[in-house]
């Protein structure tokens, strides 16, 4: 059973490229339908929690599912399965990168990849803005955050703590 949990998450970890939002449908299919370890309702509750907790969403959801299925050992296996493919492949690339980083070909490669990454960040920004309930009345808030953190390099730590404190005060009022 433990090995099966590990293997399921290893498979998901190894074949999803592009972050958590690509992973979620696969995890759901594997644990709700294929293995039937958890009901869909429980999974969706866990997903909501995973998205509101700090840390990578994929890791959070594997913690929830692993624990749900087989307690602490299950949790450990699920987390290991999720992060191993990522850690191993990055270590390999980092080793190679070190050796070839200064070469002309690599410089050319990244001269196109760098602007591509900027596009990669810009597109989800539009989607996120839609889904987060942004409107004319509250747009000043993310706008101010972007200026504080992006232009004045204020640490996100302070901004996050202030936001949490403000929200709690708002709810108590």
Does position 143 interact with other proteins (CB under 8 A)? The reply is yes
Residue 96 CB, shortest distance to other proteins, in Å, is 11
**CB under 8 A: which stretch of 1-9, 29-37, 165-173 binds other proteins?**
165-173
CB of 4 to other proteins, least distance (A): 20
Give CA separation, 8 vs 1, 14, 35, 39, 141, in Å: 11, 10, 9, 17, 41
Sole binder of other proteins in the list 2, 26, 30, 145 (CB under 8 A): 145
Distance in angstroms (rounded) separating the CA atoms of residues 169 and 173:
6
DSSP 155: -
The residue among 60, 56, 57, 54 whose CA lies nearest residue 160 is 54
CB closer to other proteins, 36 vs 111 = 111
* Interface of this chain with other proteins, residues 7 to 46, rule: CB under 8 A: 13-21, 45-46
Judged by CB under 8 A, the chain residues 118 through 137 that form the site for other proteins are 118-126, 128-129, 131-134
Among 50, 69, 77, 78, binds other proteins (CB under 8 A): 50
The distance of closest approach from Cβ of residue 173 to other proteins in the complex, given in angstroms and rounded to an integer, is 10
Beta carbon nearer to other proteins, 8 or 82: 82
- Contact in structure between 69 and 3 (CB atoms under 8 Å): no
156 scored as a contact of other proteins (CB under 8 A): yes
**Cβ contact 65:38 at 8 Å:** yes
| Distance separating alpha carbons of residues 6 and 98, to the nearest angstrom | 31
Position among 60, 69, 70, 78 found at the interface with other proteins (CB under 8 A): 60
Full DSSP string of 30-74: IIIIIS--S-HHHHHHHHHHHHHSSS-HHHHHHHHHHHHHHHHHH
Number of residues that bind other proteins (CB under 8 A): 97
């Amino acid at each position: 059973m433990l090995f099966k949990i590990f293997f399921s998450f290893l498979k998901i970890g190894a074949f999803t490229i592009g972050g958590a939002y690509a992973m979620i449908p696969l995890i759901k299919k594997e644990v709700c339908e294929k293995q039937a370890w958890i009901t869909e309702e429980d999974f969706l509750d866990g997903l909501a929690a995973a998205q509101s907790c700090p840390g990578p969403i994929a890791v959070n959801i594997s913690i929830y599912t692993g624990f749900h299925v087989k307690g602490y050992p299950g949790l450990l296996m699920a987390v290991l399965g999720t992060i191993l493919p990522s850690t191993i492949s990055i270590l390999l690339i980092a080793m190679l990168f070190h050796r070839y980083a200064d070469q002309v070909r690599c410089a050319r490669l990244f001269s196109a990849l760098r602007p591509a990454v900027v596009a990669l960040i810009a597109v989800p920004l539009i989607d996120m803005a839609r889904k987060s309930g942004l409107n004319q009345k509250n747009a000043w808030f993310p706008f101010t955050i972007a200026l504080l953190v992006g232009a004045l390099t204020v640490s996100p730590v302070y901004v996050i703590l202030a936001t949490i404190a403000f929200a709690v005060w708002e709810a108590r009022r």
